[in-house]
Chains A and B, each alone.
Chain A
Amino acid sequence: MGIVSPGFTGRRGAGSDLPPGQYLTHEFPVLSAGPTPHVRHEHWELTVANETGEVTRWDWKALTALPSEKITKDLHCVTRWSKLGTEWKGVSLDVLLADVETGADFVMVHSYGGYTTNLPLEDLLDGQAWIAYEYDGEPLHPEHGGPARLLVPHLYLWKSAKWVRGLVLSDSEDLGFWETAGYHEYGDPWKEQRYAGD
């Protein structure tokens, strides 16, 4: 820790029911590690590849024709902000993965723009994850991951890949973009699993 700066508290609100080390914000900060991809609906697709290489595809029409849900969840970013009660609309991964045959334990999520993140498959099932395409009643803005992003709100937000393009199921765990650079392979905010080894 550095020398305390007299009178400095940071741009932070108080939060009692937040995971450790988090502060409350009412904004929706935009984090970006690269240029924002702009994917047109007619060119968009989502693929799921199972461990045998079998690929299932949805184009925009097919995705939005699937039964959707309204989701209200808290978000926790590893850069320490939390935003409560965010409202989304999207398709549950339970729906998307219902007909995908797999015995895999792990998933690598790929995004337009090249981003990747890894998760255990079980964290995407049982009502825990969605492909979200509306935020606050509006089509999801590209800076927040539109046309569609993964939403896995029980893990740190870097797992909720923006601009999601595909899921690759696998028997073995591989590490994604931030996970290969020192971030935790799982990322539970309530256990404060920020960095590898936490």
Chain B
Amino acid sequence: MTVEVPTYLDGNAAAGVLREIFAVDITAAIGRCAGCGQTGVFAETRVYLDAPGLVARCQGCDEVLLRVVTTPADTYLDLRGLTYLRVPNPA
């Protein structure tokens, strides 16, 4: 039996695609998982890229926090699993 290698990266891998949507960096923001209530820095979430779209999941409960699909015409952003994103204001 082969040892399974984790296929996820982390929230840092979503930085580029999210900066196409948001005017600020989201990876340093704090997010709250709508599934289990855990809060944490978005950079520490688990990001799956080998899929038809980008999926970020909660480190605590694996629930989907965010999805991004880029089609030729539009970008779809689904934030269903985030109760909030806390973004620091510029100093």
Contacts and interface: CB of A to CB of B under 8 A. Distances in A.
B86 interface: no
**Interface of B (DSSP majority class):** loop
Interface stretch (B17-25, B26-34, B37-45, B51-59): B51-59
A183 B55 contact: no
Contact of B76 (A30, A32, A143, A181): A181
Given A182-B74, A182-B76, A195-B73, A31 B52 contact: yes
Nearest to A157: B52
Contacts of B74: 182
A33 B54 CA distance: 8
A32 B52 contact: no
Nearest to B71: A195
Interface residues of B, number: 20
Size category of the A interface is 20 to 34
A34 interface: yes
Contacts of B62: 34-35
A87 B14 CA distance: 36
23 contacts: A30-B7, A31-B52, A32-B7, A32-B51, A33-B52, A34-B48, A34-B57, A34-B62, A35-B8, A35-B57, A79-B51, A79-B52, A158-B52, A180-B78, A181-B53, A181-B69, A182-B69, A182-B74, A182-B76, A183-B69, A194-B71, A195-B73, A197-B73
Given A32-B51, A181-B69, A181-B76, 16 more contacts: A30-B7, A30-B50, A31-B50, A31-B51, A32-B50, A33-B52, A34-B48, A34-B57, A78-B52, A158-B52, A181-B67, A182-B69, A182-B71, A183-B69, A195-B72, A196-B71
